[in-house]
Amino acid sequence: MRTLLNIIWLVFGGFWLALGYFIFGLLACILIITIPFGIASFRMASFALWPFGKTIVSKPTSGVGSALGNVIWFLVAGLWLAIGHLTTAAAQAITIVGIPLAIANIKMIPVTCVPLGKEIVDSRQVPAGSNAVYSF
């Protein structure tokens, strides 16, 4: 079921969302100081391509740097990527088959807005004692 949802997701929105993350990642890697944002964007691009079967967990070692980075991220890219998720979710929710995809799109918005301090792991390999933020 997970593979089927991922294939449908890829065709009906995942590719375009991942492309947006990838383009921002390339732009962020132009300057040395913004490379961590580019890496986070590439990580989110891979998640946007194939989200079902993955879980987002908080990193216990993230601190003030991640929080400050998330504020900058939200202002520069997070808000615009979140609008892309909302637009895609609205288009997907038109059909009955698209409703689970629209729900997944809405679930991705919080991690789109604040990706630093989070990591994406396989749902079957969630570390013991970790705080699972979102599971797909």
Alpha-carbon distance of 132 to 119, in angstroms, equals: 10
| Mean pLDDT, contiguous 10-residue spans, the chain (136 residues) | 85 88 92 89 89 82 84 89 90 88 88 85 69 57
Alpha-carbon distance of 5 to 37, in angstroms, equals: 28
Q: What is the pLDDT of residue 128?
A: 62
Q: What is the pLDDT of residue 42?
A: 93
Domain that holds residue 59: 2-135
DSSP summary character for residue 60: T
Q: What angle do helix axes 79-92 and 15-28 make, rounded to 10 degrees?
A: 170
Express the helix, strand and coil content of the chain in percent, nearest 5 each.
70, 10, 20
Number of structural domains found in the chain = 1
Residue that the structure tokens 């300057």 belong to = 31
Check the CA dihedral 116-82-110-70 and report its sign.
positive
Prediction pTM value: 0.79
- Give the tokens for residue 39: 């890496």
Separation in Å, CA 66 to CA 2, 72, 77, 116, 122: 31, 10, 15, 5, 22
